[in-house]
Amino acid sequence: MKSRPSVILEYSLYLRLKQLHLQEQVYHELCGDKYRAKRFFYTLSRDSRTPARVTSAYTHAQIGAMAQNRAEEDEFINKAPLQESRETEEERKRKEEDFGYGLYPERSGSGSRFKQGSIGESLFTFRHKCHIMLQVAMDTSPYAKLLLGAMKSSGCTVHKDRHFSCEDCDGTVSGGFDAATSQIVLCQNNIHQQAHMNRVVTHELIHAFDHCRARVDWFNSFRHLACSEIRAANLSGDCSFVNEISRFNFGLKEHHQACVRGRALRSILAVRKVSREEAELVVDEVFDSCFHDHAPFGRIPHNKKDAKFAYRDYENRDRYYANL
């Protein structure tokens, strides 16, 4: 049986160790410097109320544990950003490779050579001209006006400054729809005529309309992408008689269908790393249903006149019910 003084001594040692444990936050600040920690515990060991052997053992154990924790923490802090940046870089490369972001340098991280809004941008880029032609298209093109009205009715109001972006692109594309940001990209270095701007705006607005009205899985479903490309080629005027003549493409029987199929296939191959055979298979699989989906035009607007009639019908769509 232990004597009363020994019990009191052990209890006092327990209280002292508990007090030291409560001071963990204090010496945690000191453990960043190993020598400061040693000085701290040396001063503590001179306290007459703390036995030297207990303090010495506790000091060495805590210094070793804190030094190890500090080393692990520093290693984590130094490695975490590198690992995160490496994953971000790999994700960006995969995004460019799989989804066609490499065709749009300003969206793939390389950026523009000129600061936005600078004098160099005004003098050496086509951004100002691009914005002017975009505004003309939104104000005068019956295709664009109908699509903008339909998206507004669907709860997806389009704002010029938010949903359109004039950028420099690869020479093989004129525009694109970025589903990740819900933005339409207009390639200012490849669009130089108002008629071309009207077609590009209409084509990309059809993608935006599909994005608004349906749950389109742009990044994982080839069927969804192919369907939207078929609709855009069919309804935007890309395959109008005048445009086909300018491309020296002639045909009599089902030439419009062949044009839509070919341009949809071309668009898919531009933004996805798939074989031509696989793309043709997907296009053929969804062609009939998507080709006959004319929303919101209600018909195939083969030319500007058809588009005006479609826009007039769209504007008057509620008049019959209002007169009942």
Label residue 91 exposed, middle or buried (CB < 10 Å: 0-12, 13-18, 19+). Answer: exposed
d(CA 121, CA 126): 8
DSSP-derived secondary structure letter, 113 = S
The answer to whether 196 touches 136, Cβ cutoff 8 Å, is: no
Largest CA distance in the chain: 114
SS3 breakdown of the chain: % helix, strand, coil, rounded to 5?
Answer: 65, 5, 30
Q: For residues 202 and 231, is the Cβ–Cβ distance under 8 A?
A: no
Alpha-carbon gap, residue 123 to 49, rounded angstroms: 80
Residue 204 known to be catalytic: yes
Q: What is the DSSP letter of 295?
A: T
Q: Which of the following is catalytic: 29, 97, 106, 204?
A: 204
> Which residues form the catalytic set?
204
